[in-house]
Amino acid sequence: MKEALLYKKIEDAQVFCFLCSHRCRIPEGGFGICGVRQNRGGTLYTLVYGKPVAMHVDPIEKKPLYHFLPGSLSFSVATAGCNFRCGFCQNWQISQVKPGGDTDDSVTVMPQELVRAARKNKCASVSYTYTEPTIFFEYALETAALARGEGLRNVFVTNGYLTPEAIGELIPFLDAANVDLKFFRDDAYRKVCGGRLEPVCDSITMMKKAGVWVEVTTLVIPGENDSKEELSGIAGFISQVDRDIPWHVSRFHPDYRFTSQEPTPSGTLKDAERIGKEQGLRFVYCGNVSGWDENTYCHACGRPVVSRKGFSVQEYNLENGNCVFCKEKIPGIF
C-alpha cells in the first residue's frame, strides 16, 4: 500500500479526501466512493498503486485523440475502480471491481516498468485510460513524471471529475486529455453517474486554459442524452471554451445495466455532427461506426490533412502542423 495524496486528517481519525469532486469524508476503516482509497488508522491509503488490471499498446486514435500525434502508439494502463457508477459503462468488468476481490486480475508493475515497456514498444506516449485514472492518481502521477523525463507524452482519458487541486498537481506532466462529457443536465449526472455536471465542465475549462490539448467525447445513448437540446448544450459549451476542441460523438451499444436500449441510430449521430457544426465546432467526429469518414479536414481549404481507416492513419498531409495544401495551421499537437 501507499499513502494517498490530496487528503487531510480531521477529527475522530477521519480523513477528508479532495482528489475528486466527491470530496469524501471517510471514517476510520472506510473507503471513498471510488472504493480504492481506504482510511486506516487516520491515514488514507491507495490500494491500487502499482496494480494495473490492463496494459496494452494502442493507436492514439483509440483514446480517441485525433489531433494529438496522429498515427502514433500509446502505452495504455488502468487499475481497478472508478468514482462514477455509470450504468452504460463499456469497461465495467474492470471499472466496477474492487481491489483484492475475486475479479481483481491485477499484477504488480512499478512506474519505471511501465515507462520501460512504453519505450520498448516504440510508444510516443503513456495513456491512463480504460477505467478512471483519477482514482489511481498516485500511480499515474509518478509514471507521468518518469515518462516526461524519458521524452514521452502523457494522456488522461477521464470522466473529468477531478478537483482543481488534482489538476494543478497533474498539469506539469499532462500533454493531452480526452474528457467524457456524458450529459448536459445535472440531474442526469446525479441519477446515472452518481456525480455532478459542473466539476466536469470546470475540468475541461481548466485543462484547456493550462495548455493541455483537450478533446471531448459524448457517448450518445438513445432516450438518455440524444435530444437536440442536450446535444446543442454540450456542443455549445465546448465551442464556448474553444471551438477548436474536437468533439467525438460515439455510438452506444447495449452493455452492463443498459442492455434494453438499442444501439444509437446512424441518423442520430449525423444529427449530433450537424448540431456540433451549427454550434461553431470545427472538428466533429462520429465514432464506433465502421466504415464512416473519420478523416481530419483542413478547416480553411476543406482538404483531408489526416486520412484514416479505423484507427489506422492512411495519409498524412501536414507539415509542422500546417496543411500542405493551403499552409493553414491545424489546431492540435502534431
Mean residue pLDDT of the chain comes to: 95
pLDDT at 96: 85
Reduced to 3 states (helix: H, G, I; strand: E, B; else coil), residue 151 is coil
pLDDT at 290: 83
pLDDT at 99: 67
Tens digits of residue pLDDT in 163-188? 999 999 999 999 999 999 999 999 99
Residues 6+ apart with CB under 8 A from 143: 77, 111, 114, 115, 126, 128
Tens digits of residue pLDDT in 294-326? 999 999 999 999 999 989 999 999 999 999 999
pLDDT at 95: 87
Here the cell at position 184 is: 448536459
| Number of continuous H segments (helices) and E segments (strands) in the chain | 8, 19
Reduced to 3 states (helix: H, G, I; strand: E, B; else coil), residue 218 is strand
CB 8, CB 42: distance < 8 Å: no
Tens digits of residue pLDDT in 80-101? 999 999 888 888 888 887 765 5
Here the cell at position 148 is: 516526461
Name which of 151, 107, 152, 105 is nearest 128 in CA terms.
Answer: 152
Average pLDDT (258-287) is: 94
pLDDT at 158: 98
Query: Is 0.85 topped by the overall pTM?
Result: yes
* Domains of the chain, first to last: 2-46 (no CATH), 52-291 (3.20.20.70), 295-334 (no CATH)
pLDDT at 289 over 70: yes
At 33, the amino acid letter reads I
